[in-house]
Amino acid sequence: MSKTVLTVDDSRTMRDMLMLALSDAGFRVVQAVDGVHGLEVLGGEPPDVIVTDINMPRLDGFGFIEAVRKDNRFRAVPILVLTTESDQAKKDRARQAGATGWIVKPFDATKLVAVIRRVAA
């Protein structure tokens, strides 16, 4: 059975790129347009991995990660941050919120798939 990845990003282009890269690698992809929508989607079915942006309207990635980690059903789900940010303080804040890893955009599809396979195992 294929693993499910929830992608949370306000950029349609980025969501499309993630959908293409991950579905081509055999993942089932569920998408959300921001943190609030991401929490709504989580109510439907638990993903095996979450990939989230940081800078989004309504609820940013930090708030989204914190909300996910407060829910016992998702405590063990790996969360990868995929963002243009590379500031160490933001990386530290994401890790404190509960992020598993950090990937800087633009991403290399092969490397992203490898990371997702590693954390989803």
For residue 67, the domain's CATH number is 3.40.50.2300
What is the number of structural domains in the chain? Answer: 1
- Look at residue 1 in the predicted model and tell me its pLDDT: 65
pLDDT in tens, 15-61: 999 999 999 999 999 999 999 999 999 988 789 999 999 999 999 99
Domain that residue 65 falls in: 4-107
pLDDT in tens, 13-28: 999 999 999 999 999 9
Whether residue 101 contacts residue 13, with contact meaning beta carbons closer than 8 Å, is answered with: no
Question: Is 121 domain-assigned?
Answer: no
| Cα–Cα distance for residue pair 50/58, rounded to 1 Å | 18
- Look at residue 29 in the predicted model and tell me its pLDDT: 97
Question: Looking at the DSSP assignment, which residues form a beta bridge with residue 40?
Answer: none
34: DSSP letter? S
pTM listed for this prediction? 0.95
